[in-house]
């Protein structure tokens, strides 16, 4: 019965995700894995905070700029199985014919 211990690299998150820089929104986004930026389910958005019924949203870290996250992952969780990455090209270059 061995326990696998992974070294903390600074990009990994406590919930098993990681933070990756998205060049389109120019922010660091909390995602599930490195291929998320190229998946059709990826939806980058500022973290709205914590919702409390009857009160509304409160920020997770008052006085700090909101973090960015994948909205689908936060609201519904990642799809299972995850869809394959569409392309490694930036979104601005997709569909452009040379």
Q: How far apart are CA 98 and CA 88, in angstroms?
A: 17
Q: Cβ contacts of residue 75 below 8 Å, gap of 6+?
A: none
Q: Given this model, what pLDDT does residue 57 score?
A: 86
Look at residue 15 in the predicted model and tell me its pLDDT.
Answer: 57
| Residue 6 counted as domain residue | no
Whole-number pLDDT of residue 72: 92
Residues 22, 28: Cα–Cα separation, whole Å: 6
**Predicted local distance difference test score (pLDDT) of residue 43:** 93
Q: Is residue 1 domain-resident?
A: no
Query: Taking the chain (98 residues) in consecutive chunks of 10 residues, what is each chunk's mean pLDDT?
Result: 44 68 93 91 92 89 89 90 77 45
Count of the separate structural domains present in the chain: 1
DSSP state letter for 72: H
3-state secondary structure of 30: strand
Flag whether 71 is in a domain: yes
Q: Is residue 72 part of a domain?
A: yes
Q: Is 31 part of a structural domain of the chain?
A: yes
What is the number of other CB atoms lying within 10 angstroms of the CB of residue 26?
8
Q: Is residue 34 part of a domain?
A: yes
Task: Supply the range of the domain harboring residue 45.
Answer: 18-84
**What is the reported pLDDT for 94?**
45
């Amino acid at each position: 019965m061995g326990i696998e211990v992974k070294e903390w690299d600074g990009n990994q998150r406590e919930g098993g995700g990681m933070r990756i820089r998205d060049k389109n929104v120019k922010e660091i986004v909390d995602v599930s894995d490195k291929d998320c930026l190229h998946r059709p389910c990826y939806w980058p958005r500022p973290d709205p905070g914590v919702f409390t019924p009857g009160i509304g949203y409160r920020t997770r870290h008052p006085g700090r700029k909101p973090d960015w996250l994948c909205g689908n992952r936060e609201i519904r969780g990642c799809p299972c199985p995850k869809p394959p990455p569409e392309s490694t090209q930036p979104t601005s270059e997709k569909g452009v014919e040379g």
